Structure 1
Amino acid sequence: MTAVASPAPQEEAAPALPAAGSSFYTAMRLLPKPRREAMYAVYAFCRAVDDVADDGGTRPVRQAELDRWRADIDALYQGRPVARTRDLVGPVRDFGLKREDFQAVIDGMAMDAVEDIVAPDEATLDLYCDRVASAVGRLSVRIFGMPEADGIRLAWHQGRALQLTNILRDIDEDAERGRLYLPREKLRAIGLTDPTPAQAIAHPRIGEVCAGLAREAEAHYRATWEIIRRNPRRPTKAARLMAGAYHLYLKAVVRRGWAAPRARVKPGKLALIGVALRHGVI
């Protein structure tokens, strides 16, 4: 058996920050400094484990590094933070962040790292969305200061809305990486059984699958806004901006359509400014 070399630890690296001008960066600017810095620490964690899943070397190396992250999160909650989790000490203490949500994010990244996801069944796709998006939402709503019950509901719906939007926006890029997040049941409905990603996205009826997923995303956006509207404005400001900005992406891909070649979509600057104005950013 050939030993697999482990990557050198990078615990002293500076925390990753969201790109200036991104929807996430703009949304986080709405928060008071302690909450903003807590969100940046959570973002840095999510970026780090996402980088492992996508670009962390061979599959055994990626699995080993994600296992190290699991151990580091456990140590954090046992009062023994390592350098790369030290920025999470304050947020965990001050906002009651849950260990299981950090571990769920790692588990979601492991779903990509262990093997490429190709046409998961709907239950697996929903689990994936919960781990990589709604778990982040559960961490976020506690930092935002939302009431517990509605915060968890918001994370459930908004996480799925945003992740389904990402999937629909990125079907071509994902296929180039050998991944296909469109659900198996919807693919079978158009006559596709066990397709490769390239075969699926080239199918003449793929638009039916994408349109069905877009309708599911729309339902999650509607539920997201119902929760947001019944809660105070201050703790939901960041969620409002994220929902408004991401919904523009969904509307843009639906408007573009699903026939190949599919141009990469990006909402217009005026539309994004409109979202920012409506939610008190500028």
Structure 2
Amino acid sequence: MYDYAWVHVVYTIPIALFLSVVLAPLLTRLDVYKICFLVVVAFSYTLPWDSYLVRNRIWTYPSEAVIGPTLFSVPIEELFFFIVQTYITTCLHILLNKPVLNAIHLHNEHTQGKFRVQKRMGQVFFAACFVVPLLLPTDHREGTYMKLIICWVAPIFYMLWTFGYQLLLSLPASKTLLPIAVPTLFLWVVDTLALQRGTWSIESGTKLGIHVWPHLEIEEAMFFLVTNSMIVMGSCAFDNAAAILDAFPSLFPNVPGMPSPLLMLQGLFTSTSRYDQDRLVGLRNALVVLSKKSRSFYLASGVFSGRLRIDLILLYGFCRVADDLIDDAASAEEAESWIAHFTNFLDVMYSSHRDSARLEKALVPFPPSAQTILRLLPAEKLPSQPLYALLDGFRMDLDFTNEKSTGHPPIQTENDLEKYATCVAATIGELCLSLVYAHDPDQHYPGAHDNREECTQAGINMGRVLQYINIVRDVKTDAETGRCYIPNQWLAKKSLTPHEREQEILDCRQRILTGAFVTYAANRDAIEELPAYAKGGIRVAVESYVEIGRVLRSRMQNGQPLDFAGGGKAGRASVPKWRRVWVGWRTMAGKRGSI
């Protein structure tokens, strides 16, 4: 009795609820928009076709297996299947693609013609899938259901391939094939059980009589495969449109948080020859730097969305390029020259007389890959002072080289330590929040940014916290490069045994870490006052790094060594990937770690 309803109660609804719980903390407004959009489209396109099949008795439902209400002869349980299948597959696709920045998978086909060829090949294939079944003889009714499936999906495949082929060709298979394969296999099992129980059936005169396995008709297997493929391709086409709008401010100056279908179609119909290839290359290079140099921020970047995510990646790319070129310089003189080059670059970027010729001249000393990143620095949204202060922090690092001749360590007092942390990290907090406020989709509402000054100051303080944790973590590796960020005044001037010196260093590390957590406790509530669309990402960025501090604190309390390999560089405390993902999810769900 009511077998079809029980299929949903036992199988589809629990999976949908599970995905809802897992994905809910990570969903953006654009994700919700996409889910609703795809559900409406799938329902609207499937209903007439399904109604035709039922009315022509290509498939049927025993009266005792359904509750009774119908729409155009389609049972209410079947209507719900349209919705729940689309929801499940779309949610899985969103979850698997959270780390992906879709913009880097766009290509200007004027410079990369292979994509144009592959696009045409796909279009020809899907056009043939639609035309060929229509040309087959119609006197054999046995293949009717398969023919109707192919003719129904082929036009949609053609359209979705045309709109989303760049992502479909460029994304890893785990981001496209996996969200098709998993729901398809699950629904094959559900369908097998339903066909075996007689919950629904295909009329014998309209099917080929081929089984994938016992009780699973080839037509049903094909139906679930192509419908899940349509959903994933539709999700990719949606992502492709959003990526185009986000990636090219010169083509689309103003993009709302939830762009209209008309604006998204405008993006999809934009010729790829208009794509700024230099911008795409610079963005790819910046993301590579991010993924290699900061796993915590790379994790957090997946929680941000739209142009804010892109600009944060470009800002971080600038910081990492500067840090690598200056820190890896062969001599103090070379490092000083790099600081001079970066100073000149910022002078040009923030000059009222900036022009492309001066900018290109300022970029000449930098390696080509660095040039692609620096050129994209979103200076118009960033205050200049923190960027210059960042260079001051690099100058303080150079003082360690001069320490051998002067005999005066650059970090003498706790104030020196705070000054250094302010230059190299608090500035990043201020710059990140500048981008958050610049991209806030709700900034036009009255009072939206009334607390901006307080939040910015908290961001500056939190930047110091993260740098203090970084210093405590890297004492050993910093010492190997001749640097010690522990204030010199904290260290005993008398001779100590190796064990006594080790204990002294441990006490200093604990002192810095304790101060970091005190500052963290005083400022973390300010995150909740940030613009709603960005606070989750800021939470993850902070908490995933503070988790390293918690690991260090725990090891201190348990008398364990602090200098160990925990998934990162040898000698550095690190948080395993699974734990960083868990911390990120828990943080997005509103659960905060211990102070």
TM-score normalized by the length of structure 1: 0.82
Deviation, 1:132, is: 0.3
1:175-254 matches, within 5 Å, as 175-187=479-491, 192-193=492-493, 202-254=501-553
User: Distance in 2 between the 1:181 and 1:201 partners?
Assistant: 19
> Within the alignment, does 1:52 sit opposite 2:325 as a pair?
yes
* Amino acid aligned to 1:128: Y
Identical positions, percent: 23
Q: How far apart in 1 are the matches of 2:411 and 2:561?
A: 19
> Secondary structure at the residue paired with 1:179?
coil
Note if 1:171 corresponds to 2:458.
Answer: no
**Could you tell me how far apart the structure 2 residues matched to 1:172 and 1:261 are?**
9
**1:63, distance to aligned residue in structure 2 (A):** 0.2
- Unaligned runs of 5+ residues in structure 2 are 1-280, 364-370, 402-408, 441-448, 566-572, 590-595
Q: CA deviation at 1:74?
A: 0.6
CA contact 1:172–1:201 (8 Å) conserved in 2: no
2:399–2:410 Cα contact (<8 Å) kept: no
CA contact 1:119–1:194 (8 Å) conserved in 2: no
Question: Given that residues 473 and 562 in structure 2 are in contact (C-alpha distance below 8 angstroms), is that contact kept between their aligned partners in structure 1?
Answer: no
Query: Which aligned pairs between 1:37-186 and structure 2 lie closer than 5 A?
Result: 37-78=310-351, 79-80=354-355, 81-82=359-360, 83=363, 84=371, 85-88=374-377, 91-93=378-380, 95=381, 97-116=382-401, 119-145=411-437, 147=449, 148-186=452-490
Contact 2:400-2:482 within 8 A present in 1 as well: no
TM-score (norm 2): 0.41
Q: CA 1:259–1:277 in 2, change beyond 3 Å: closer, same or farther?
A: closer
Cα deviation 1:184-207 (Å, max 9, x = unaligned): 2332xxxx1399xxx799433322
In structure 2, C-alpha distance between the alignment counterparts of 1:183 and 1:31, rounded to whole Å:
36
Structure 1 residues 260 and 120, CA gap change in structure 2 (3 angstroms): farther
- Cα distance in 1 for partners of 2:489, 2:436 equals 36
Q: Using CA pairs below 8 Å that are at least 6 residues apart, which structure has the higher relative contact order?
A: 1
Q: How does 1:237-276 map to 2 (within 5 A)?
A: 237-257=536-556, 262-264=563-565, 265-276=573-584
Contact persistence 1:245–1:275 (CA under 8 A): yes
Q: Is the 8 A contact 2:455 2:529 kept in 1?
A: no
Moved more, 235-244 or 259-268: 259-268
1:73 Cα offset (Å): 0.4
Shift of 1:115: 2.9
Residue deviations 1:10-50 (CA, integer Å, cap 9, x gap) = xx985463016811012122222211111121111111111
Deviations 1:41-69 (A, max 9, x none): 11111111111231012101110111111
2:328 counterpart of 1:24: no
Number of residues of Structure 1 aligned to a counterpart in Structure 2: 261
Unpaired segments of 5 or more residues in structure 1?
1-11
The separation in 2 between residues aligned to 1:63 and 1:136, in whole angstroms, is 21
Contact 2:396-2:410 at 8 Å conserved across structures? no
Write the distance in 2 (CA, Å) between the matches of 1:37 and 1:194: 52
Amino acid at match of 1:275: V
Name the residue aligned to 2:588: 280
How far 1:118 sits from its partner (Å)? 5.6
Rounded to whole Å, the distance in 2 between the matches of 1:123 and 1:164 is 13
C-alpha contact (below 8 Å) 1:200/1:206 kept by paired residues: no
Q: Which residue of 2 aligns with 1:5?
A: none
Contact 1:241 1:279 in 2 (8 A): yes
Please tell me whether the aligned partners of residues 204 and 259 of structure 1 are also in contact (alpha carbons under 8 angstroms). no
CA RMSD of aligned residues (A): 2.9
Per-residue CA deviation, residues 147-178 of structure 1 (Å, 9 max, x unaligned), is: 43133212221111100000011110001111
What residue number does 1:6 align with? none
Q: Could you tell me whether the CA contact under 8 Å between 2:392 and 2:423 is conserved in 1?
A: yes
